[in-house]
Structure 1
Amino acid sequence: MEAENSRRERKRQQTMERLVACAFELFSQYGYEAVTMEQIAQRADLAKGTLYKYFPVKEALVTHRMHADLAAALPSMQQQLADAPDCATRLRLFLRASASYSEERREYIGPYIQHRLCRPIASMGTENRSGLDRIYLQLLAAGQQSGEIRADIAASHLARHLAFLHMGALMYWFKTPESSLQQGYDEILDLFLQGART
């Protein structure tokens, strides 16, 4: 039974990856806005119902790809972060890498934000997570252990607050094309680490 479940999950993951790959091929050719869900299903040679079963809206394909990219980049990034001298530097390096990634994929940021914010509130803590809060949790917990980060607030709460600041800066940058995402992330990190004291 366990082997059957494992095989089923493998097949499910393969189907999802195929759909995402076909979607991004089309996005690259024609632009995100021009591509329809029907075209994606046709390119993948799958029934439209199969596409909607895994990705009920086009924005979900973008979210899946962006989360997968983060997961794929994480091992090498964690090594780079481990070499940094302190918690603040590790957080800043991570945010700068995140800014570079988003700047290179600006056309997908709007759909990504829309999908993340339009989900039912009840599901926000349980599904379709980016992994951002877990990265912040790891970095901040290490900072607490080294005495660099205050320990009277749980690292999980601090990570959640920083993840919200991160999303807010991303949204502002997307809506304000002349702004700098790297500068925005630097500002929210300084605010997070130092508070709003004069």
Structure 2
Amino acid sequence: MNRDDAGQPGRRERKRTQQLDHLAATAWALFESDGYETVTMERIADVADVSKVTLYRHFPVKEALLRHVFHGELRTAWPAIQDELARLAPGRARLGRFLELQAAWCESRRAYLLPYVHFRLTDTRLPGEGRERSGMDRIFAELVAQGQAAGEFRADLPLELLVMHLQFAHLGTLLRWLTEDGLVLREELARMLDLVVNGMGAPQ
């Protein structure tokens, strides 16, 4: 990334970021007004007033535009979420509240989540090769580490292992909610967290 002497993004990088944000915002407005399935990449380029070559250079498919929008929303919301979570006890309470907030966001974005998740799962590139991370892995790691430090989560296993299992359980729950009717995501995520924290043992 191009940065200046103060460590801030340089002019070229700022212009690139502005263009990415413009393209993603244009696409999102079209998705919301016309429907995700009906909007074409050519339509996005036309409304954004860029060439198709420029659009495809930054975003090869519509799902990449969703990724940019969604990841930007998480980055923007995270500081306020951190402030709210800090008022709760570390460990299960913070994780549970974060999952409640995420469930509400997912409900508002449900029409777009299945193509987004499919795109993320089929993108086999590494982050250094251009794969953009959502930041969820870092959020889970932070919240689990806080629980370990407070003695609420087991510390005899490495943080990375606990986070990996939590992420897989979270993904499975999200996919089930997206593909089955009648499920309430907030309730499903609460059950998932209970299972991850308490295990499969029968109540004593």
TM-score, structure 1 normalization: 0.94
1:156 Cα offset (Å): 2.2
Alignment of structure 1 residues 26-175 onto 2, 5 Å? 26-120=30-124, 122-123=125-126, 127-175=131-179
Q: Which deviations, in whole Å up to 9, do the C-alpha atoms of 1:60-103 show, x marking residues without a partner?
A: 11111111111111001001101012410100000010000000
Q: Which residue of 2 aligns with 1:188?
A: 192
Structure 1 stretch displaced more, 152-161 or 101-110: 152-161
Which amino acid is 1:160 matched to? M
Question: How many angstroms apart in 2 are the aligned matches of 1:13 and 1:129?
Answer: 16
Give, in angstroms, the shift of residue 33 of structure 1.
0.4
Aligned-residue CA RMSD in angstroms? 1.8
Instruction: Write the distance in 1 (CA, Å) between the matches of 2:26 and 2:105.
Output: 21
Tell me which residue corresponds to 2:20: 16
Greater alpha carbon shift after TM alignment, 33-42 vs 171-180 = 171-180
Count of aligned pairs: 197
Moved more, 12-21 or 125-134: 125-134
- Tell me if the contact between 1:90 and 1:139 (Cα under 8 Å) persists in the aligned partners: yes
Is the CA contact 1:134–1:159 (under 8 Å) kept in the aligned structure 2?
Answer: no
Distance in 1 (CA, whole Å) between partners of 2:181 and 2:51 is 38
Residue pair 2:173, 2:192 contacting (<8 A) in 1 also: yes
Output the CA distance in 1 between the equivalents of 2:175 and 2:157: 27
Answer 1 or 2: which has greater helix percent: 1
Q: Which moved more, 1:123-132 or 1:133-142?
A: 123-132
TM-score by length of 2: 0.91
